[in-house]
Structure 1
């Protein structure tokens, strides 16, 4: 079972929908889990209400938004597990999208979700994470060592530059909408790594990827784990995560 962990609400539409679409188009079935087993919708500002004159830069792109609409019609999206209902031993691949609005904390601060993430890393199944989703992995501890499952791995995540830029652009009107926690994602993630150099920031000036040009995005792969920084990396991330999933579980009848 390929499992996507979603918060109660407020995740980024692109970060969930684009990887889901890549898997679904390749014939893979994806299941979902939320804190209470209820349907979880994405951040309304990113998907519907926008940012006034900043919408062209900050709102979800039209093509990715259409993909998100298709995701919400998926039968398994409409019938999620609760985190507690998930049997981790039956999970064959795990994906963790991000989001910055307050509702995403219901995922990042869940001990059960952290345990599911830790189990996935320990068992060596494919794991994908993007943006704030990497925080769940950073907070997931290996019981054998007491350290984060990212200790000793290379990763990326939402960079401090990206996070602070979005916050500075919007804070007069939206307050701390773009600051989920006082500490940036990059700072928290780097703090659990074996070496600060294991956090890879990617190009200083990020360029959004697209379905036609996925390699504009930036990802970091370390074994069974692939990570990305922001929605602008998600077409690259989707392709890399699909490759991980298919390498781990070849199709029936394949070579």
Structure 2
């Protein structure tokens, strides 16, 4: 059995990326522990669990729970079931503090994502977590990063100033995915249009400059090290439609990139395959 540490923000993490990864790893016999800024339990992004708040009438009394866009974008049935099971795990309710997590105490590191600025920015900007990421890479232990978790890895720099992803091949949430979700939010969540954008461009910056993809690419040795689904790949449409999600038995919709002991993926729809790859490395 391997021991895995999964840092979480103080709130608003993506429930699919956390719960599915936990479910797959624990089903394979591994122990998953969690860490939060203060050592207290962290709540998931509620919108990604129930879908309430993603439709344009969500603020109208009596219509709040009528969901169309919300049903499409929220966690799917597999992920919601996994999250319900996760909430019964004692480790989930007794996390370590971020500064108590050590690469010497664990065999692997999993970096999940999320996108709401209120919860995610402290996680993505934490010097404590960035040092932890560097320690795992320097120890050559398995590291998995999905969605915005890849951004945390990209921001983790060694003493020479280079990211731990410099010289690595990686995937992440793509600008196409981030832009499409943001466009839906501009319609469905018109009062909070940047719900899907953790960082937005400043005046004078080109569109997408502050996207996850763009910042991750700036940390790499070469733009070619950023690996997206190539045109002509098997199941290309399934992988890129934003509608199909993988399952434990069907990896066709997923896109996961492995480089040595580093595993990366794009979004919740890759979570089963992402976690299965980490489990293989731990095994």
TM more than 0.5: yes
- The CA deviation string for residues 2-38 of structure 1, in whole angstroms up to 9 with x for no partner, is 1001111111111011111111111111111011111
Unaligned runs of 5+ in 1: 247-255
Unaligned runs of 5+ in 2: 55-66, 201-209, 230-235
Paired residue for 1:189?
216
SS at match of 1:2: strand
Deviation at 1:188, TM superposition (A): 0.2
- Please identify runs of 4+ aligned residues in structure 1 that moved more than 6 A: none
Paired residue for 2:84?
69
- Number of corresponding residues: 245
Is the counterpart of residue 78 in structure 1 residue 93 in structure 2?
Answer: yes
Distance 1:141 1:97, change over 3 A: same
User: Which has the higher mean CA deviation after the structures are superposed, 150-159 or 209-218?
Assistant: 209-218
Distance 1:69 1:19 in 2: 13
TM-score w.r.t. the length of structure 2 is 0.84
Paired residue for 1:120?
136
Q: Which has the higher helix share?
A: 1
SS at match of 1:32: strand
Paired residue for 2:19?
17
Which of 155, 158, 161 is equivalent to 1:139?
Answer: 155
Contact 2:51 2:70 in 1 (8 A): no
Aligned CA-pair RMSD: 1.3
Paired residue for 2:175?
160
Contact 1:19 1:241 in 2 (8 A): no
Distance 2:38 2:19 in 1: 21
User: Which has the higher mean CA deviation after the structures are superposed, 199-208 or 149-158?
Assistant: 199-208
Contact 2:171 2:257 in 1 (8 A): yes
Distance 2:249 2:141 in 1: 29
Give the greater-gyration-radius structure (CA). Answer: 2
TM-score w.r.t. the length of structure 1 is 0.92
Paired residue for 1:92?
107
